[in-house]
Structure 1
Amino acid sequence: MTTRTARRRAAGLGYYGTAGALAILFLLPLAWSGWASVRTPHGFGLASYRNMIHYGDGIGTYLRNSLEVTAMTVAGTLAVSLLGGYAFGRFRFPGKNLLFLATLAILMVPYPTILIPLYVLLGWLGLQNSLAGLAAVLVMFQLPFATFLMRNSFEAVPQELEDSAAVDGCGTFTALTRVMIHVVRPAVVTVGLFAFLAAWNEFFAALILLNSSDKFTLPLAVVDMEGRTFGSIDYPTLQAGVVFMAIPCLFLFLLLQRSYVRGFMSGALRG
């Protein structure tokens, strides 16, 4: 075995060993939650999942609320960031750079500090204690990074491609929807996945903006499962809720991981 081959093999072992260790490190809490969700004082079973399904207004209510908020958040984030990123990346207009910096400046503000003013604003708009109001707030939180990613992705597209679409008779909006959006599809997937994960797992904003239990999302319902009479906590039911929430996130990430990595590398790391 040559020295170069030995070094290459050692580097491969180090890479896969590090990747395997990190995978175990991140999956261990989820594996522990799955084990704790089926462990009861009397052995192992699915009683905790039955308790979770029938908890409060029913898991179906909380699941529907989370799906509605997530769908509105993903759709709103994609629509606005696509148009905004396209405008910032392909057009010139007065105040463009200043407006873009103002958009990114929102990232510097800790979002919990503005939830109370947003709660008052939603009251003026008649959206307090509503899923649509919560989704609007989550879209606002996602837009700075989403617009930044889409702008960089559109900037990476050769101008000749857009010129060819114009020669074929495509207007600005037609070129965006029929040509450009397909070129930046990895970035679109990345933005959508980020928006999904943020909306699906959001707890603090939902805690502040939602008051009625029948409008609770899954994170609120799972945390509410923790509170029991006499100060006791039903850990198996709580962990069943954690597993139930984690499954869609794992499934989507594994399904879209290639597009996610390509979109993140081509957009977020570009100057």
Structure 2
Amino acid sequence: MSGSSTASRWGHHITGTALAILFLSPLLWSGFASLRTDTGFGLENYARLFTSDNGVRPHHVLNSVVVSALTVGATLFVATLGGYAFGRFRFPGRDVLFLLTLAILMVPYATILIALYVLLGWLGLEDSLIGLSLVLTMFQLPFSIFMMRNSFEAVPLELEEAARVDGCDTVGTLVRVMLPAVRPGLITVGLFAFLTSWSEFFAPLILLNSTDTFTTTLAVVNMRTASHGSIDYAALEAGVVFMALPCLVLFAFMQRSYVRGFTSGALKG
């Protein structure tokens, strides 16, 4: 029995290591290619990324930070309220409304970007970071509300009832008792919203027109052409690594809460 248990454990380790290498190999190759130059290895590709005429500028990075911050904030706010309502309150049509919210996931967002572009034009938000953030938030909400509903449902009802007995109203119970209890879910939702908004390319490509509002992804793609129409792959790889670093750092610091957020409600009942 001990031998089969050891073999099973080693099998899990080997499988996990193989999958990790498989998924990390493209990023490791990008890191290697971003440092490789004609004369050896160095940071020349990164210097060219930030100093070339059509390269990445500080305001491009700032635009990405602003879009990511607005998307994360709006997603957390709406998903928290929506998840709390779906998870704790009983009202007519609750299940139908929740299913309709999830049904948005079945709509390919690329098919409605043109309609959203026209809508943002009517609202005076075309070619704006706020408009882009609203669109990205809308695409994040179905999954985020689903996650937060599961997180709230995993919290024991007695905890909420004790807060009501102590005199907390609905808002007070949510802020003082429920939010600390669903912290892993909040981190998971926020991390997903950041990863999507930071690395999104297609939506900014359609919704942003001027270079002043370009995000980092658009700036990196915009500098892909070098002399005589050739593609500067080395600078592109440097851009890929630069954009991946914040995501890797955030995930490294939050991976424990991220995993807990995904398992919230899995053992409920």
SS at match of 1:233: coil
Looking at structure 2, the residues matched to 92 and 12 of structure 1 have their Cα atoms a distance apart, in angstroms, of 45
1:10 maps to a residue whose letter is A
Looking at structure 2, the residues matched to 94 and 22 of structure 1 have their Cα atoms a distance apart, in angstroms, of 46
Match of 1:13 in 2: 10
Is contact 1:150-1:267 (8 Å) kept? no
Following superposition, the deviation at residue 268 of structure 1 comes to 7.0
Match of 1:26 in 2: 23
Following superposition, the deviation at residue 81 of structure 1 comes to 0.3
Match of 1:36 in 2: 33
Q: Give TM-score, length-normalised by structure 1.
A: 0.95
Is contact 1:148-1:268 (8 Å) kept? no
Following superposition, the deviation at residue 39 of structure 1 comes to 1.1
Choose 93-102 or 70-79, whichever is displaced more: 93-102
Cα RMSD after superposing both structures: 1.5
Following superposition, the deviation at residue 144 of structure 1 comes to 0.4
1:95 maps to a residue whose letter is G
Out of 256, 259, 269, the residue aligned to residue 257 of structure 2 is 259
Following superposition, the deviation at residue 126 of structure 1 comes to 0.5
Cα pair distance change 1:107/1:133, threshold 3 Å? same
Can you list the C-alpha shifts for 1:83-118, whole angstroms capped at 9, x where unaligned? 011011111112211211111111110000000000
Q: Runs of at least 4 residues of structure 1 off by over 4 A?
A: 267-271
Match of 1:211 in 2: 209
Is contact 1:149-1:187 (8 Å) kept? yes
Following superposition, the deviation at residue 26 of structure 1 comes to 1.2
Following superposition, the deviation at residue 269 of structure 1 comes to 8.2
Match of 1:53 in 2: 50
Looking at structure 2, the residues matched to 78 and 230 of structure 1 have their Cα atoms a distance apart, in angstroms, of 46
Is contact 1:62-1:216 (8 Å) kept? yes
Out of 81, 105, 109, the residue aligned to residue 103 of structure 2 is 105
Looking at structure 2, the residues matched to 244 and 10 of structure 1 have their Cα atoms a distance apart, in angstroms, of 40
1:262 maps to a residue whose letter is R
Is contact 1:81-1:146 (8 Å) kept? yes
Out of 63, 66, 74, the residue aligned to residue 65 of structure 1 is 63
Aligned ranges 1:66-105 → 2 under 5 Å: 66-105=64-103
Can you list the C-alpha shifts for 1:7-44, whole angstroms capped at 9, x where unaligned? 12211211111111111111111111111111112222
Match of 2:122 in 1: 124
Q: Give TM-score, length-normalised by structure 2.
A: 0.96
Looking at structure 2, the residues matched to 59 and 32 of structure 1 have their Cα atoms a distance apart, in angstroms, of 25
Is contact 2:45-2:235 (8 Å) kept? yes
Is contact 1:149-1:267 (8 Å) kept? no
Aligned ranges 1:219-258 → 2 under 5 Å: 219-258=217-256
Is contact 2:36-2:42 (8 Å) kept? yes
Out of 161, 164, 171, the residue aligned to residue 163 of structure 1 is 161
Aligned sequence identity (%): 63
SS at match of 1:35: helix
Between the two proteins, the alignment pairs up a number of residues equal to 268
Looking at structure 2, the residues matched to 120 and 23 of structure 1 have their Cα atoms a distance apart, in angstroms, of 43
Following superposition, the deviation at residue 270 of structure 1 comes to 6.4
Aligned ranges 1:147-158 → 2 under 5 Å: 147-158=145-156
SS at match of 1:93: coil
Structure 1 unaligned regions, length at least 5: none
Can you list the C-alpha shifts for 1:117-139, whole angstroms capped at 9, x where unaligned? 00000000010000010000000
Cα pair distance change 1:36/1:121, threshold 3 Å? same
Is contact 2:187-2:254 (8 Å) kept? yes
Match of 1:144 in 2: 142
SS at match of 1:211: coil
